[in-house]
Structure 1
Amino acid sequence: MGRTNMTEFAFSGVGTNPHHGTPVNPADPAVQRIPGGSSSGAAVSVATGAAYIGLGSDTGGSIRIPAALCGIVGFKNTARLTPLDGALPLSSTLDTVCAMTRSVRDAIVAHEVMAGRTVTRSHAPLAGYRLAVASTTMLDGLDAAVARAFEHSLERLRAAGAHIEEIPLAGIRELGAIQSTGGFSAAESYAWHQRMLAERGEAYDPRVRSRIERGAGMKACEYIELIQARRAWIGAVEAALQGFDAVLSPTVPIVAPPIAQVAPGADRDAEFFRVNAMLLRNTSVVNMLDGCAISIPCQQPDELPVGLMIWQAAMRDDTVLNIALQAEAVLQRLPGTA
């Protein structure tokens, strides 16, 4: 059992740490790219072969983002399935304890141990599944390598028999307005950190501190409205997904940028927050949905890692994992082979 470095208090998708250093993404060590976060060191340990399983939490994408950027598998189960005992909270509403692995099969084993349950295996072929592609927001602004990998993945899955249909899922656009006052993470992290901020605020990573302190201004009525708005939003999205077994999206819209581009420093804060927002954009949809999702590698040969996210609403974990097993086999198969 080893302990790895990570983003302070799990509050960023970038993976930088000004106190102890930022783990280098092993996909391109010469350029020294970000590993993604918040579970940055855990992802690097799995990607380099130092560990079979990297434990972490996923509040807005902290397992799936580094998995996608480092070229490994990251599974975010439905939050209620794994206990939070011993985990330092970021958002008591959204936190999920889960893991990164080198394969979907290992992800299933890790989940079964952590959740104390057995995943129901299905041997249904991909032709038996109806899959959606959410076109609203989640396909905007893709890096060229991400767009190529995603489209190629869809082609391979269709060729394997999967029925894939593009849907708008317009509700995704509403999330910005729903979380305009700071969202659950700001409010709930501030409730936990407020005393320590008052006593030792100067010791915090300034970028993390600024995000936590957004919660100081949230009123009780705004927090209650947020809870109610989320509940209504979940109902609307679940209704839109009726008839589909899962949704396919790029895990993150960009490939890993160089660490120097977002390294600590006031002159790089704007770029850091821009990159952080892009990294969290797609993955955080699933956390707000109280859903489950897995990221599996799908990049083209000789290109930086890209993740394919397979996701659904709450308690559809076994379906998502079974689809991922089939998709992983298809995407790892050499073109032209049976």
Structure 2
Amino acid sequence: MIKALQNVLSSGHVTASGLLDDSLERIARDRRDHDAVYVSVNRESARKAAKTSDALRDRGYVPSSIAGLPVSIKDLFDVKGEVTSAGSRVLREARPATRDAVVISRLRDAGAVFVGRTNMSEFAYSGLGLNPYCGTARNPSDPRRVAGGSSSGAAVSVALGHVAWSLGTDTGGSLRIPAAFCGLTAFKPTARRVPLDGVLPLAAAFDSVGAIAQSVDCCVAADSVISSHVLDTSPRALESLRIGVLFGGVVDETDDQTHAAFYEVIRRLIDAGVSIVAFDFPELNEVLALAPQAGITAAQAWGWHRHHIKESAHLYDPRVLARIRKGEHLLAADYIELLKTREFFIGASQRRLSDFDAWIMPTVATVAPLAEPLLEDDDAFFSTNARVLRNPGIVNLMDGCALTLPCHREGALPVGVSIVGTSMADASVLAVGRSIESLLRQCGLGKSAIEDSLPGGAHG
């Protein structure tokens, strides 16, 4: 999509201002059925940015591959002059940011046009995307279903064709879950590759910043700007790849549609000459039984929220408040043990995956669930949330990186397949992802509903 849009901009047939007008028209068109996608839409500042981009292009200056393109920003990032409310009532009256987050500054220098702030799970503390106060963004494939979270509005803004891509965060799957549920691509980089300065935290141990988009190529373009590092992501020959698959929980404890879609991916890869190797990972079940990620996240979230909760507990989503409060009474000794468990798991994952170009798994254990039961019943919410977070959260726990690709058949509910790598294996994951994406598209799997109707009349 990004290349297609840059091509129409370079041709002179469309301007950045024209792309923005198209974006704003689409947002207005979809507002009736999708009224919870944005916290705010920044029309005037976006128009100024688009005009500036057009003027610079007329002078021959195009600072990056995303210059002049509409982008949405999750409501966790500081943008100078705007309130970072994190999808909450608690921070709605907070002071506006006095400076841009580092990634926002990099995007601004690259010529991105910020269309608006996207809605999310309150304080990013849910994989389902429910928000009782700001509204719940619904899945474009089936509005009865959730869009996934916590970057819910980010995914929907891309799926509806409002923007070229969206900036989000991922603590336990918050980029990859909504991308998988909405039939999109998302890349969660190794956390330390993209600075978190000016990003409201959930858990500093796991938080990472990345993109939701229409393709691997779009994610690579976004990553090169926000990480300030261009990776070699040239596609790999499929017959040269050695891919690990861990059967058992992450694969077999999935719903029927996810299970079938994943096994079709495996079959297609084998037919293309990829070496698929089953492997054992006993440390995974051992570590998951200790739940270090939940404990570390709750402890770090409590550290940030405790003063707000003292004064404004009544403004929190009760489900989010309950999860944060789990960190209130965690002993320092227990917290240290959880950190040690994580370090053990990082080392174990590096050993287990060292012989593979990547590890693949279903991104999420289920297709997007229906929203109403989750809105009404706490037990349904917490059990479903845990199931949705299980697979993607493994990647954050191992300090890894992962790409999710849509792999469903046309007309079916979206399903994602994840290409996973260890810490700093980002280039390899994206390169392998390019090759697998090409194969899936040749097989007619994972086609986006809007690929043939992109902003500005471009075609992907």
TM bin, normalised by shorter chain, reads: over 0.9
> Is contact 2:252-2:259 (8 Å) kept?
no
| CA-to-aligned-CA distance 1:32-85 (integer Å, 9 cap, x gap) | 210000000000000111111111110000000000000000100000000102
For the pair 1:40 / 2:152, whether they are aligned, the reply is yes
Q: 1:227-306 alignment to 2 at 5 Å? A: 227-263=339-375, 265=376, 268-306=377-415
Report the 3-state secondary structure (helix = DSSP H, G, I; strand = E; otherwise coil) of the residue aligned with 2:129. Answer: coil
For the pair 1:6 / 2:120, whether they are aligned, the reply is yes
For the pair 1:177 / 2:285, whether they are aligned, the reply is no
| CA-to-aligned-CA distance 1:213-256 (integer Å, 9 cap, x gap) | 00011111111111111111211121111211100100001011
CA distance in 2 between counterparts of 1:123 and 1:217 reads: 48
CA distance in 2 between counterparts of 1:168 and 1:231 reads: 19
> Is contact 1:33-1:257 (8 Å) kept?
yes
Structure 1 residue 181 displacement after superposition: 9.0
CA distance in 2 between counterparts of 1:239 and 1:61 reads: 23
Q: 1:118-129 alignment to 2 at 5 Å? A: 118-129=230-241
RMSD: 1.2
Question: Which residue, 138, 146, 162 being the options, matches 1:24?
Answer: 138
- In terms of Rg, which structure is larger? 2
Of stretches 139-148 and 55-64 in structure 1, the one that deviates more from structure 2 is: 139-148
> Is contact 2:292-2:338 (8 Å) kept?
no
Which position in structure 1 is the counterpart of 2:441?
332
Structure 1 residue 261 displacement after superposition: 1.7
Change beyond 3 A, Cα 1:181–1:75: closer
CA distance in 1 between counterparts of 2:381 and 2:225 reads: 36
Taking structure 1 as the reference length, what is the TM-score of the superposition?
Answer: 0.95
Which position in structure 2 is the counterpart of 1:155?
267
- Whichever residue aligns with residue 112 of structure 1, its letter is S
CA distance in 2 between counterparts of 1:90 and 1:300 reads: 35
Structure 1 residue 140 displacement after superposition: 3.4
Structure 1 residue 112 displacement after superposition: 0.5
CA distance in 2 between counterparts of 1:182 and 1:331 reads: 34
- Whichever residue aligns with residue 424 of structure 2, its letter is M
> Is contact 1:56-1:97 (8 Å) kept?
yes
> Is contact 1:286-1:311 (8 Å) kept?
yes
Report the 3-state secondary structure (helix = DSSP H, G, I; strand = E; otherwise coil) of the residue aligned with 2:201. Answer: coil
Structure 1 residue 182 displacement after superposition: 4.0
Change beyond 3 A, Cα 1:123–1:74: closer
Taking structure 2 as the reference length, what is the TM-score of the superposition?
Answer: 0.70
CA distance in 1 between counterparts of 2:172 and 2:275 reads: 29
| CA-to-aligned-CA distance 1:166-194 (integer Å, 9 cap, x gap) | 11212221233332694211000000000
- Residue correspondences, number: 330
Question: Which residue, 307, 316, 321 being the options, matches 2:425?
Answer: 316
Q: 1:136-147 alignment to 2 at 5 Å? A: 136-147=248-259
Relative contact order (C-alpha < 8 Å, sep 6+): which is higher?
Answer: 1
Question: Which residue, 322, 328, 338 being the options, matches 1:210?
Answer: 322
Report the 3-state secondary structure (helix = DSSP H, G, I; strand = E; otherwise coil) of the residue aligned with 1:3. Answer: strand
Structure 2, unmatched stretches of 5+, are 1-113, 445-460
Report the 3-state secondary structure (helix = DSSP H, G, I; strand = E; otherwise coil) of the residue aligned with 1:33. Answer: strand
Structure 1 residue 114 displacement after superposition: 0.4
Where do 4+ consecutive residues of structure 1 move more than 6 Å? Answer: none
> Is contact 1:182-1:218 (8 Å) kept?
no
CA distance in 2 between counterparts of 1:87 and 1:202 reads: 24
The alignment-based identity, stated in percent, is: 43
Report the 3-state secondary structure (helix = DSSP H, G, I; strand = E; otherwise coil) of the residue aligned with 2:418. Answer: strand
CA distance in 2 between counterparts of 1:233 and 1:198 reads: 35
- Whichever residue aligns with residue 155 of structure 1, its letter is R
> Is contact 1:75-1:295 (8 Å) kept?
yes
Structure 1 residue 110 displacement after superposition: 0.4
Of stretches 115-124 and 57-66 in structure 1, the one that deviates more from structure 2 is: 115-124
Structure 1 residue 125 displacement after superposition: 0.7
Report the 3-state secondary structure (helix = DSSP H, G, I; strand = E; otherwise coil) of the residue aligned with 1:56. Answer: strand
- Whichever residue aligns with residue 164 of structure 1, its letter is I
- Whichever residue aligns with residue 133 of structure 2, its letter is H
> Is contact 1:121-1:318 (8 Å) kept?
yes
> Is contact 1:13-1:61 (8 Å) kept?
yes
- Whichever residue aligns with residue 21 of structure 1, its letter is G
